[in-house]
Amino acid sequence: MSKRHDVIAALRALVAIALPNADVMVLDDEDPAPTRLAPGGRVVIRSGDPGDPEVTLGLLTYHYSHRIPIELTAYPTSADSRGKVLDEMASAIGAAIEADRTLGDLAEWIEPEPLITDDIFITATQAAGKGETAVIADYSTSNPLN
């Protein structure tokens, strides 16, 4: 596997542990497209674009600052609004990131972006909340294809 794929897989595992009741998937991977929203919410991680690397010559190394988009979707609970549920999901992900800023030494550093929320209105069902964020993963590799 490539370093890019390993970083995304490690991020998926971190989010799945932080949100054990949510469906966590990488749509750009082999996960099937979701058909329903699970009661614990859904998290979709996209592969994103690692961008152009900075290159260190000598000991050839490619340094990436890879923006990995994350989409959160959840229904409100009887006690909490959609916005509060999404904030709680984002907070759990943020706490997991703070606990492991290197994804088990796969990255030099990971940093989340702020959550942007909105409502999704679906015919014949209650409205769900949607949140978008991203994690910036800084990592290096000796081969841009690995």
Coil/strand/helix, residue 133: strand
Residues 6+ apart with CB under 8 A from 101: 107, 109, 110, 111
- Cβ–Cβ under 8 Å, residues 72 and 43: yes
In the prediction, which pLDDT does 37 show? Answer: 78
In the prediction, which pLDDT does 124 show? Answer: 52
List per-residue pLDDT tens for the chain, 146 residues long: 799 999 999 999 999 999 999 999 998 666 676 677 778 899 999 999 899 999 999 899 999 999 999 999 988 776 667 778 899 999 999 999 999 999 999 999 999 999 998 876 665 566 778 999 999 999 999 998 88
